[in-house]
Amino acid sequence: MSIKLYIDIPAVPKPDHGHSLLLRASASEKRNAVTKIERHVHTLNPVTALEFYTAGIESRLLLAAEGSFLKVFNAENSKLISQSEVFHEQTIHGIAVNKGSPENGLELVIWGGNSLILLSRLDFEQILHASVTSTAGRAVKVSDWILDVAIWESSCVLVTAHNALLRASFDKTHRPVIEDLPSPSESILYSAHVVWDTPEQILVAAGTVFGEIIYWRGSVAENGSFGDVQTLFTFTGHEGSIFGVNISPIITGHGNEQTRLLASCSDDRAIRIWDLAEDAEKRGVGEKSTLRETGFGENERDAGTSLPGERCLAMVMGHASRIWGVKFLVGISKDLGFPLVNVLSLGEDSTAQQWSLELAEQVDSDVEMGGVEPVFNSGTKHTAKLTHVDTYAFHSGKHIWSSGLVSEGNGIFHIATGGADGKISKYDIKLARKGLSATDTYTQDSEATNEPSNSDVSLSAWDLEEVLNQFSLHGSDNLTTLQPAPDETISDPEPTLESISDESPPKKKKKAKKAPQDAFNRYAFVTTSTFITTTTFGRVFTGQLGVSTTWNEVFLPQSGKGDLRSYSIVEGFPELSTAFLAGANGNVYSYQPGNLIGDIGKVDGKVADMFKIHDIQANTYCLLVTTLSSKVATLFSVKPMADHTIQYTLPDDFVVTAGGMYNGMLILGSRKGSLAIYHPQHPDQPICTWNDQRFSSGDSFTTILVLPPPTEAPEKIYILTTGRNGVYSIFSLGFYSSNEGLSGEIHPVHCGTPSFGPMIEAAWFEDGDLILYGFKSKNFVVWNETKQYEITSVDCGGAHRSYAYSALNNSAGAGHFVYTKASRLYIHSQSKPSHEIIKPGGHGREIKTTAISGDKTFIATGAEDTAIRIWEYSDDSDSDLSPHFTNLAVVQSHTAGIQHLQWHNSTYLLSSGGNEEFFIWSISTIPSFGIGVICEASCPDPSADQDLRIMSFDVTSCPIHLSPDGQESLIISLAYSDSTIRCYIYNKFTGYILIGTGNYTSSCLTQIAHLYIENDTLCLLTASTDGRVPIWNLPLTHQFIGEDLDMENSFHPSPPRLEMISTSKIHQNAIKSLDVQEHGGYIFVVTGGDDNALAISIYQSSNMAAKPQIFILRKAHAAAITGISILPSSFSSHSFNVGEGGFRVVSASNDQRVKEWEVSVGAGKKGYGDGDGGLEVGIRNRGDVFTPVADVGDLAVLVGGGESGYGDGDGGLEVGIRNRGDVFTPVADVGDLAVLVGGGESVGERVLVVGNGMEVWGVGGVGGVV
């Protein structure tokens, strides 16, 4: 059959001087040539540059670079003020602000790659007021990659990747002028820092690929011309490439000596501090540059010289992986009289770490400064010391790529960090020194300030003796002499010496037994800022927290004296300003501030525990008391106060660990992970129980929280539970009447695994956010689960201790934490979260796949960080500044990178990945919470080694007549990396049933797709790394479904084999992406390959065994096509003429371009497949845009407009393909692409591109990709 090819792709002039000239081609010319993509809609990408801005405005701003866009935030309230496109096809790498620019002089410099833009104050004000949405047309290109920029008045200097210096400034017409400046010998750099020190001097520190650090100086004459350059030092010692360097501000030491320091970090995870003093004795004036070895380690030429050893003042190993950057934080201590120098390091491990640098003159007097102990046994004597102060882990995944800082004086710095997760965090750092008191005052730049020190966090520690001394100091009448009971008094007279004779050996002297010491025992909060504590001797104290802690002692009634000795239980009701106490003899007491401790009742036996029970429906409070070795739990009414108790009979082996109540129904959780529900009129037995060890892992519940019902009489209520298995869960409770009376049903509907576990101790809601607290390793952590950030983290030693926590009002979950550590009472108070989120983020690793739910409500993304995130997308066209993505849930059950995601309607989400992991997630809506996600099933037949990847899968509704027991079922086909195919029928009642298997070759399968089910036969296709697309048939008959099944292993004794009915060679190697559309009797298969080609294969659905008609565009992209989607709305034309109607395809690639292709299909004159007609094929590029998403992993269509209709297909086919759009995306490592939703012809589709970030593009129904 003949093939006629029509190609309509605008020609691009061939560059005369290679690729570099192409990079300097006008971006606007390219866009005018082919780009029909309507507009960039939204981006959630790594934050690559940050800088604070304060000039000429009332509030402080934070400038952030995200892809090619500059976003301006109000640093005080996190509001996005404006955003502007800075470069057309280049990610921003740096921002420099002129802190003292003249009127309408150079205010802002932004650079990325070899692109540069200069902005005056007027230009920036236009951006702030959204008068300008793009400044890309003003960008200029320089000769090399820009690493750093320094501004002085109306000009700036740039350091490039080959250690060259350039100057940029405005000319008289306000156009940028670039000037080459004298530079030392060229070196290949990974990092640089330039400081325009004075009008006459420029300092440059350059970190090379080969481990050297070159520190040099350039001079500026009075007339503004640049003179000679001088290399001052070349430092060696790092064992890897230099990733970051930073020159400190001027540091004034004793005797008013001024100097600078240099910090460096490297691939070797080391931070080094270097002395930059330029005295002749140390520097060696007149030293000439000679040929050197690489900078890795110490060179033979430097061995025996004093330069490297003397200049490296300190070195420390930090972070869990590579360190990307370092910055100095410098202030002056008025009390100590010398500078305080800290270093902030940013790492691949997504943490920022604070280090205190003790210089030689600051080291303690017991260290002999003539030869300070070396920090490491490296053979070098370091004369300073770096000490770790704190770690700020406020990002997820990997990499902190950017930071900005500004000093507030008083030793406090505001820090903002941006990560690969797209999140911007802001927090305060206070200068620290080992052994320095927290009450020391600081000045910045030697200027005194009266500003208060940072008081957001305080920590105090108390011995019981110190508390008693407080009474003595204040002359308290409450102070009593601490006397142990007679039976606890252990005393010995002074030891006597036995007479020693020659006949008998001397007897050993008995050691005097120490008298037992009283100590703090249990804690509970009476109010949000008042706690009560008991001691081992039975004493009771209260502590009022404020500027200082005020202590009081309260006493039990005379009849209960000694009840709390050695054993006590306390429970606080801060809402009622009440606390309850109990001991071993069963008496229960209550305490309210200002009142005496009162007796409220008694239980039989030793009190095991007490629980606060709050009924949100009746607005009542109760106290539940359990006793040891008893099957009875007693409920005391607290509010309204009444002499009313109910005794509940517990099930066998049911130890209560948590409780809740709704409308009088008592809900109890046990130590072994079971639930029981009681009706108040039937306390002798529960109306229903739940115990699923597979779900709870047999671990105890720690909280039961009833969610507010949406109506006064709901059909179901929902409870949230926490447990010591690191999971919080939500259950639905339904009640109904039966012949046996009232009954109930309990079903889990959500399971969350926060990253801070494994012990979750409590949960509550604050301003709609779910707050959790618990323990991770040795730290107590308070966590905002809704917004996924840490509120508080305290190194308390771990979970095995007495503690109490009270969240302050309007503090976003922060509060007071009281705990015991090493027999001392510690009080950690925090008035606000540890950091603010300026901009929320997402995945911290490459996103490999994305999927859109059937009703276009939810978006799911899966990444190399093994997490699945479920998002809600809003397309508010009235405001580009409003957030478009809202993270609804984070699912963390995979242990390997996620390969594929797919929705079935909006009720099931399926996921697959490495280690043969495959999960079916049930999705539901939970009132007053959001969405529930629970794992309903996992991989049915894992191999013994579980070393395969499930590369892809497809899911289709099973015809009801083929479903087991007539239940709604799914047909699921899995494609494995060993070329195996397995097909199952699944429903939640019968589980998996294996209905077919197949093997292709030894090639790894990459894609699988169901085509149709006809005559009880499933037709499907696969794609693999050999570039072929086989078509398979699988019969679905009753004899293989529901009869003689081994349900435990899902295997039928002899499942049928899939039959390969055809195979076609399409790509030269691996097929990376695939989409399928069936219409009018034809099946269109669009594929993207590792060979950069885009292919369209057309099958007749009535004859899938026939060879398809294939069109291949060999150079559709410059790299592998990793995401491809057919736009659903493009099937809207009933005409099959070339250039009229047809469909559109959007593709994304690792070349960071998103392209739209128009495929026009029409009826030919001859019949299809009769050998007489031909297939006429044309192509047109309708869109081509840059995306900042690197390593594109997938692509999806968010919105689709128009109706689906594509002709009858009676005649032959003419196929024309036009490239409707081609745009550059800054999303690196593009992993997938999807179409979001349909908004009609005026809105067009929204295409989602994922990879190292997420980006949404608008694809117009008329104009193409925008």
- Of 602, 628, 655, the residue that ends a domain is 602
With cut-offs at 50, 70 and 90, classify the pLDDT of residue 56: low
Burial 1014-1037, CB ≥16 within 10 A → b, else e: eeeebbbbbbbbbbbbbbbbbebe
Mean pLDDT check: name the lowest of 9-23, 34-48, 218-232, 1187-1201. Answer: 9-23
User: d(Cα 582, Cα 585) in Å, to the nearest integer?
Assistant: 8
pLDDT at residue 699, rounded to an integer: 87
The number of distinct structural domains making up the chain is 2
pLDDT digits (tens, 9 = 90+) for 954-965: 999 999 888 887
Complete edge-to-edge strand list for the sheet that includes strand 632-639: 645-649, 632-639, 620-627, 607-615, 656-662, 665-670, 675-678, 688-690
Query: What percent of the chain is modeled with pLDDT above 70?
Result: 77
Q: In Å, what is the CA distance from 225 to each residue of 148, 172, 1123? A: 21, 18, 52
Counting other chains too, the contacts that 285-293 makes at CB distance below 8 Å and 24 or more residues apart are 289/184, 289/185, 289/231, 289/234, 292/212, 292/234
| 1048 pLDDT more than 90 | no
Find out whether 383 and 313 touch, Cβ atoms under 8 Å: yes
Q: What are phi and psi of 76, to 5 degrees?
A: -85, -40
DSSP state of 489: -
Residue 1139 domain-assigned (yes or no)? yes
DSSP state of 1060: E
Average pLDDT, the chain: 82
With cut-offs at 50, 70 and 90, classify the pLDDT of residue 294: low
At which residue do the structure tokens 């920022």 appear? 352
Mean pLDDT check: name the lowest of 797-806, 930-939, 1068-1077, 1213-1222. Answer: 1213-1222
At which residue do the structure tokens 């109506």 appear? 711
Instruction: Return all residues near 2 (Cβ < 8 A) that are at least 6 apart.
Output: 1174, 1175
According to DSSP, the residues that pair with 676 across neighbouring strands are 668, 689
| 141 pLDDT more than 70 | yes
For the residues 1127-1145, what does the mean pLDDT come to? Answer: 60
Mean pLDDT check: name the lowest of 493-502, 553-562, 1039-1048, 1252-1261. Answer: 493-502
Instruction: Return all residues near 495 (Cβ < 8 A) that are at least 6 apart.
Output: 509, 510, 512
Q: In Å, what is the CA distance from 487 to each residue of 212, 483, 484, 490, 515? A: 73, 11, 8, 8, 11
How many residues appear in the chain?
Answer: 1266
pLDDT at residue 3, rounded to an integer: 39
For the residues 1064-1070, what does the mean pLDDT come to? Answer: 95
| 618 pLDDT more than 90 | no
Mean pLDDT check: name the lowest of 144-153, 400-409, 1186-1195, 1201-1210. Answer: 1201-1210
Q: How many beta carbons lie within 10 A of that of residue 162, not counting itself?
A: 16
| 996 pLDDT more than 90 | yes
| 47 pLDDT more than 90 | yes
- Of 556, 574, 602, the residue that ends a domain is 602
Residue 1242 domain-assigned (yes or no)? yes
Q: How many beta carbons lie within 10 A of that of residue 724, not counting itself?
A: 21
Find out whether 833 and 841 touch, Cβ atoms under 8 Å: no
DSSP per residue over 526-543, as a string? Answer: EETTEEEEEETTS-EEEE
pLDDT digits (tens, 9 = 90+) for 806-860: 999 989 999 999 999 999 999 999 999 999 999 999 999 999 999 999 888 899 9
Closest listed residue to residue 414, CA positions, set 483, 499, 329, 508: 329
Mean pLDDT check: name the lowest of 332-346, 561-575, 1031-1045, 1249-1263. Answer: 1031-1045
User: d(Cα 573, Cα 611) in Å, to the nearest integer?
Assistant: 10
pLDDT at residue 904, rounded to an integer: 95
- The token duo for 361 is 């003159």
pLDDT at residue 290, rounded to an integer: 44
Instruction: Return all residues near 345 (Cβ < 8 A) that are at least 6 apart.
Output: 265, 271, 318, 319, 323, 325, 326, 352, 353, 355
pLDDT digits (tens, 9 = 90+) for 665-691: 999 999 999 999 999 999 999 999 999
Query: Residue 714 region, left (φ>0) first, then alpha (ψ -120 to 50), else beta?
Result: beta
pLDDT digits (tens, 9 = 90+) for 243-276: 999 999 998 876 677 889 999 999 999 999 999 9
State the amino acid at position 830 in one-letter form: Q
What spatial distance separates the first Cα and last Cα of the chain, rounded to whole Å?
37
pLDDT digits (tens, 9 = 90+) for 722-761: 999 899 999 999 988 877 778 889 999 999 999 887 899 9
Q: What are phi and psi of 98, to 5 degrees?
A: -85, 110
Residue 13 domain-assigned (yes or no)? yes
Tell me which H or E stretch contains 346: strand 339-347
> Highest mean pLDDT range out of 43-57, 354-368, 775-789, 1033-1047?
775-789
- Classify 761 as helix, strand or coil: strand
Q: Where are the beta strands (DSSP E) in 1107-1152?
A: 1109-1113, 1121-1126, 1143-1149
For the residues 758-772, what does the mean pLDDT come to? Answer: 94
pLDDT digits (tens, 9 = 90+) for 401-422: 999 999 988 889 999 999 999 9
With cut-offs at 50, 70 and 90, classify the pLDDT of residue 302: very low
For the residues 311-326, what does the mean pLDDT come to? Answer: 93
pLDDT at residue 32, rounded to an integer: 38
- Classify 493 as helix, strand or coil: coil
Residue of higher predicted confidence among 310 and 1053: 310
User: d(Cα 313, Cα 116) in Å, to the nearest integer?
Assistant: 36
Query: Counting Cβ atoms within 10 Å, is residue 415 exposed (0-12), middle (13-18) or buried (19+)?
Result: buried
Residue 560 domain-assigned (yes or no)? yes
- Of 557, 585, 602, the residue that ends a domain is 602
pLDDT at residue 183, rounded to an integer: 86
Counting other chains too, the contacts that 476-484 makes at CB distance below 8 Å and 24 or more residues apart are 476/552, 476/553, 478/552, 478/553, 479/553, 480/553, 482/518, 482/537, 482/539, 484/515, 484/516, 484/518, 484/537
User: d(Cα 424, Cα 121) in Å, to the nearest integer?
Assistant: 25
Closest listed residue to residue 405, CA positions, set 51, 835, 833: 51
For the residues 937-943, what does the mean pLDDT come to? Answer: 90
User: In this structure, is the dihedral angle defined by the CA atoms of residues 374, 375, 377 and 378, taken in order, positive or negative?
Assistant: negative
| 503 pLDDT more than 50 | no
For the residues 1142-1146, what does the mean pLDDT come to? Answer: 84
**Helices assigned H by DSSP within 450-598:** 464-473
Find out whether 37 and 1258 touch, Cβ atoms under 8 Å: yes
| 278 pLDDT more than 90 | no
Closest listed residue to residue 323, CA positions, set 253, 244, 247, 389: 244
User: d(Cα 198, Cα 221) in Å, to the nearest integer?
Assistant: 11
> Highest mean pLDDT range out of 14-23, 329-338, 981-990?
981-990
Residue of higher predicted confidence among 414 and 339: 414
pLDDT at residue 443, rounded to an integer: 36
pLDDT at residue 13, rounded to an integer: 36
| 1212 pLDDT more than 70 | no
pLDDT at residue 9, rounded to an integer: 40
User: In this structure, is the dihedral angle defined by the CA atoms of residues 328, 329, 334 and 335, taken in order, positive or negative?
Assistant: negative
With cut-offs at 50, 70 and 90, classify the pLDDT of residue 473: low
With cut-offs at 50, 70 and 90, classify the pLDDT of residue 656: very high
Find out whether 593 and 530 touch, Cβ atoms under 8 Å: yes
Q: How many beta carbons lie within 10 A of that of residue 100, not counting itself?
A: 9
Residue range(s) defining the domain that contains residue 585:
457-481+514-602
Query: Counting Cβ atoms within 10 Å, is residue 176 exposed (0-12), middle (13-18) or buried (19+)?
Result: middle
Query: Counting Cβ atoms within 10 Å, is residue 637 exposed (0-12), middle (13-18) or buried (19+)?
Result: middle
3-state SS string for 705-717: EECCCCCCCCCEE
| 1135 pLDDT more than 50 | no
Find out whether 46 and 69 touch, Cβ atoms under 8 Å: no
HSE value, Cβ hemisphere, 13 Å, CA-based, for 1170: 11
Q: Are strands 632-639 and 61-66 parallel, antiparallel or unpaired?
A: unpaired
User: d(Cα 1134, Cα 1131) in Å, to the nearest integer?
Assistant: 8
With cut-offs at 50, 70 and 90, classify the pLDDT of residue 91: very high
pLDDT at residue 694, rounded to an integer: 76
pLDDT at residue 257, rounded to an integer: 79
Residue 259 domain-assigned (yes or no)? no
Q: How many beta carbons lie within 10 A of that of residue 808, not counting itself?
A: 17
Give the distance between the most distant pair of CA atoms in the chain.
130
pLDDT at residue 555, rounded to an integer: 92
Residue 78 domain-assigned (yes or no)? no
pLDDT at residue 186, rounded to an integer: 84
User: d(Cα 1239, Cα 302) in Å, to the nearest integer?
Assistant: 68
| 1012 pLDDT more than 60 | yes
| 1259 pLDDT more than 90 | no
pLDDT at residue 383, rounded to an integer: 79
Q: In Å, what is the CA distance from 1153 to each residue of 298, 513, 1150? A: 44, 80, 7
Find out whether 68 and 87 touch, Cβ atoms under 8 Å: yes
User: d(Cα 329, Cα 315) in Å, to the nearest integer?
Assistant: 17
Residue 175 domain-assigned (yes or no)? no
Mean pLDDT check: name the lowest of 711-715, 839-843, 1218-1222. Answer: 1218-1222
Give pTM, 2 decimals.
Answer: 0.86
User: d(Cα 560, Cα 584) in Å, to the nearest integer?
Assistant: 11
pLDDT at residue 1180, rounded to an integer: 79
Find out whether 1195 and 1247 touch, Cβ atoms under 8 Å: yes
pLDDT at residue 442, rounded to an integer: 37
Residue 376 domain-assigned (yes or no)? no
| 449 pLDDT more than 60 | no
